[in-house]
Structure formats: structure tokens, C-alpha cells
Amino acid sequence: MIVDDSAGYVQAARAFLEQEGITVVGVASTADAAVRCVTELCPDVTLVDIDLRGSSGLDLARQLVNEFCEAAGCVILISAHAEEEFADLIEACPAAGFVPKSALSADAVRAVIRGGRDVPPGSTEPRGT
């Protein structure tokens, strides 16, 4: 599942991930819609944009992990911003990891699922835990 307030990005990310063999079961553009979708769809992975218009993706990620962990699956933060801009907040968040939007791929998602904390830009190998 992809949670992002940019319809254009969601459409592109969905097409790209599905081309790489990942089925995107749903999308949401707000925190409230994300909670509804997660509880209905129970995705294996939920990608959450850090910067959601009108709410914090970090707060949403915390809520999904703490209140809906079985339904939300593996929660991974994504952002168009550089990781350094949010490094402390990403580290404090219980999400499984971080993938820059520019590096989003099936391999990057799988690397975080395998136990990496985050994926450096341009890499599919996780960094830290």
C-alpha cells in the first residue's frame, strides 16, 4: 500500500513497483484514509510519505506500527526530501526503515523488509538496524 498526497507520484510509484513484481493493493492520500485502507486491506507493506499535506507521515507511521501493526504489515517511510533533513525523526520512528523516493524499487523495499533500517540513495542495500 502507498500513502502519499501526490497523485502523480502514487501513480508512477504504483506502475513502477507493479512492473517489478510488487502488487499494490491500495493507496491513500491522508492519514485517516490510510488507517481505513490498512484495516480493510491488511497489506504486507505500507509505504508512508513523511510529508503528508495536513498531517505528519511520521505520526501516521507511529500509529500504524503501534495500533495496527498486524494490519499495516512492514511500515516503510518514503520521502522526496534528503534523509539528512529528517535523520533524527526517522531514527526515532518505529517504522522498519526509510527509502528515498528517488531510490524506490522492489529491491529497496525487500532490503528494508530483510532487516535494514534504511536504504541509501541509489542503493538497494540496507544501512544500519
Residue 128 has pLDDT above 60, yes or no: no
CA 93 to chain CA mean position, Å? 12
Helix ranges (DSSP H) in the chain: 7-19, 31-41, 57-67, 69-72, 87-92, 106-113
Q: Could you read off the pLDDT of 16-33 as tens digits, one per residue?
A: 999 999 999 999 999 999
Domains of the chain as residue ranges with CATH: 2-113 (3.40.50.2300)
Q: How far apart are CA 67 and CA 86, in angstroms?
A: 23
Lowest mean pLDDT among 13-17, 60-64, 118-122, 123-127: 123-127
> How many C-beta atoms surround the C-beta of residue 31 within 10 A?
21
Angle of the 31-41 helix axis to the 57-67 helix axis, nearest 10: 30
What pLDDT shows up at residue 116? 55
Q: Could you read off the pLDDT of 49-95 as tens digits, one per residue?
A: 999 888 899 999 999 999 988 888 899 999 998 888 889 999 999 99
Mean pLDDT of 32-57: 93
